[in-house]
Amino acid sequence: MAPADDESDGEIGETIDILLIEPNPGDTRLFEENFRDAKLMNAVHAVTDGEEALEFVHQRGEYADAPRPDLILLEPQLPGQSGMEVLAELNGEPPLREIPVIVLTSSEVGESIVKSHDLEADAYIQKPVETDEFIEFVREVEEFWFAIVKTEPAN
């Protein structure tokens, strides 16, 4: 049996669980399709609003058996509970604070808005608009993930 980090099939490392918090079903589909083709083995779990996201990370209700995400992609403009409120809750709870969060911004202004609420994410990446931009977006997420994995202390 090959070790988990065997690159023989073109994929790299162990599978990571990505929580995508995105209200737009079309964007969700594009994210899922492009992550399926990524070198980073992943499982994308998509939710559409802040309440559902918090249920997922707290593993409550229908998400009681959901995996704790390794990485969260957060659209700040959500129906109901905003992305800022979700980020504040994630930052306020020690076990959840450890999950890296990438805020999906529409522009540099989006990053400034999040920071103006005294909130900090691990990274800000401009949300792709065109289909071909999703490929570059996935590469940026992979680079971010590998940078985190390389800087984590060995257990």
Q: What is the pLDDT along the chain (155 residues), one digit of tens a residue?
A: 333 444 434 455 678 999 999 999 998 999 999 998 887 889 999 999 999 999 999 999 999 999 999 999 999 889 989 898 999 999 999 999 999 999 998 766 666 666 666 777 888 888 888 878 888 899 899 898 888 876 655 44
Euclidean distance between CA atoms 76 and 139, whole angstroms: 21
- The structure's pTM equals 0.83
**pLDDT score for 65:** 96
Sorted by where each begins, the domain ranges of the chain are 16-146
3-state SS track over the chain = CCCCCCCCCCCEEEEEEEEEECCCHHHHHHHHHHHHCCCEEEEEEEECCHHHHHHHHCCCHHHCCCCCCCEEEECCCCCCCCHHHHHHHHHHCHHHHCCCEEEEECCHHHHHHHHHCCCCCCEEEECCCCHHHHHHHHHHHHHHHHHHHHHCCCC
**pLDDT score for 100:** 94
CATH no. for 16-146: 3.40.50.2300
Question: For 105, left (φ over 0), alpha (ψ -120 to 50), or beta?
Answer: beta
